[in-house]
Chains A and B, each alone.
Chain A
């Protein structure tokens, strides 16, 4: 039993590594930190894998993403206590594109970065990773109704950001 678990872990969890890494990238906005977080999260996942049975329809993807999210949050608490609550800081992104060269693609990317973390994560989970509301609710640890309203508010903010950019 013990020896079979690692092989299954590879089959079940590794297919979602890109999703895990993408989520981490958007949560911490730094490639190196994201890599560390995903590694930590996967080692944790490996440790608890024996307990993962996909109960209640939890997909392996949502399960892994939950661990990544929690790892990112505790990592933030430890290393950057203020980072999860502060919004995008322009000064930390000195390579930000000069304003007149901005097109819609860059605008949406920057608008997403500026979103508060709880909005950013629902957008990433839904739009980039196609999770159901139920799965997002598991990952983010909030009721489905909250997922629904957060997603809607997040989209409204992104739309506002795009409109502002057009006006300029």
Chain B
């Protein structure tokens, strides 16, 4: 080796990134140094192997189409709230990749505009709750502390369960305001992820179940028994579904 930087020099030379003067010098040296010439040839060979063996990928047509759609949309704000059947791709694609997950109860439907606005509301509350000091009004892992805390704050007493044994510890509760009414928000943890469960008495026409993903957050929505549920987290969808399943089971077993 003529100097410590030699290999990088040859690489830069082959990449066409070496200044002309340096390139001349290098060429002169290569012409009289078989060892360095061999090194250069190996690099040329390596490049051929990489080009032949490392594929580039074509972006899926559906992805391209979605982005084109987004680019043609109006302002980002209205775009987010617009009903777009193409948004179905995400739950569908995820469903395909999670074939093992029991999808039975999860019809991957998409809400209409009104539901969409509510989902935006829920997401905003979730994100706000993650800002420092906003997560819980009653920080407690004890369901018998959290549940009574809502007395006098809401006109209903939300069911509160702890799933610490299943890896989803209850972290507390919070009073929130969603869809034009005060609601109960229950906070659960999963490793470093936070899960917000919003619930309020179900209306006359139960909606869902549905799944939505926005800004990296998944939102699951369903109506079971007397309550409408919204579950939001940046947790992986499969785990979030497991968690939702726990909630539904808890609800069912209390009923029976």
19 further A-B pairs in the complex, CB-CB below 8 A; given A17-B59, A17-B64, A47-B76: A6-B71, A7-B71, A14-B64, A39-B67, A40-B216, A42-B67, A42-B70, A105-B53, A108-B53, A109-B53, A112-B50, A112-B54, A126-B15, A133-B12, A148-B17, A149-B8, A152-B8, A155-B11, A156-B7
Q: Does B100 contact A (CB under 8 A)?
A: no
The number of chain A residues touching the other chain, given as a range, is 35 or more
Closest Cβ–Cβ distance, residue B64 to chain A (whole Å): 6
Chain B residue at smallest Cβ distance from A103:
B53
Considering only residues 120-150 of chain A, those with a C-beta below 8 Å from chain B are 123-124, 126-129, 132-133, 148-149
Q: Does A151 contact B (CB under 8 A)?
A: yes
A38-B59, A109-B53 known; A46+B93 contact, CB < 8 A: no
The 5 A-B pairs with the shortest beta carbon distances in the complex, nearest first, are A105-B53, A21-B59, A152-B8, A108-B53, A17-B59
Chain A residue at smallest Cβ distance from B94:
A32
Which of A40, A81, A128 has most B Cβ within 10 Å?
A: A128
> What A residues does B43 contact at CB under 8 A?
155, 159
Docked pose: A113 CA to B216 CA in angstroms: 25
Closest Cβ–Cβ distance, residue A86 to chain B (whole Å): 17
Q: Does A101 contact B (CB under 8 A)?
A: no
Considering only residues 14-73 of chain B, those with a C-beta below 8 Å from chain A are 15, 17, 42-43, 46-47, 49-60, 63-64, 66-68, 70-73
Main secondary structure on chain B at its contact with chain A?
Answer: helix
Q: Does B234 contact A (CB under 8 A)?
A: yes
Instruction: Establish whether residues B63 and A148, one from each chain, have CB atoms under 8 Å apart when the complex forms.
Output: no
Instruction: Give residues in B with beta carbon < 8 Å to A.
Output: 7-8, 11-12, 15, 17, 42-43, 46-47, 49-60, 63-64, 66-68, 70-73, 75-76, 90, 93-94, 97, 192, 216, 234, 236
Instruction: Establish whether residues A128 and B236, one from each chain, have CB atoms under 8 Å apart when the complex forms.
Output: no
Considering only residues 1-60 of chain A, those with a C-beta below 8 Å from chain B are 2, 6-7, 9-10, 13-14, 17-22, 25, 32, 34-36, 38-40, 42-43, 46-47
Instruction: Establish whether residues A10 and B17, one from each chain, have CB atoms under 8 Å apart when the complex forms.
Output: no
Instruction: Establish whether residues A46 and B46, one from each chain, have CB atoms under 8 Å apart when the complex forms.
Output: no
Q: Does A79 contact B (CB under 8 A)?
A: yes
Q: How many A-B residue pairs have CB under 8 A?
A: 119
Q: Does A107 contact B (CB under 8 A)?
A: yes
Docked pose: A62 CA to B53 CA in angstroms: 24
A10-B68, A108-B53, A152-B11 known; A18+B63 contact, CB < 8 A: no
Instruction: Establish whether residues A32 and B93, one from each chain, have CB atoms under 8 Å apart when the complex forms.
Output: yes
Q: Does A72 contact B (CB under 8 A)?
A: no
B57 in complex: contacting residue of A18, A149, A151, CB < 8 Å: A18
Q: Can you list 9 A-B contacts with CB-CB less than 8 angstroms, sorted by A residue number?
A: A18-B56, A36-B90, A43-B70, A78-B216, A81-B192, A105-B53, A109-B53, A127-B54, A149-B8
Closest Cβ–Cβ distance, residue A39 to chain B (whole Å): 6
Instruction: Establish whether residues A14 and B67, one from each chain, have CB atoms under 8 Å apart when the complex forms.
Output: yes
Q: Does A104 contact B (CB under 8 A)?
A: yes
Closest Cβ–Cβ distance, residue B135 to chain A (whole Å): 17
Docked pose: A158 CA to B55 CA in angstroms: 16
A14-B64, A75-B216 known; A128+B59 contact, CB < 8 A: no
> What A residues does B97 contact at CB under 8 A?
32
Q: Does A106 contact B (CB under 8 A)?
A: yes
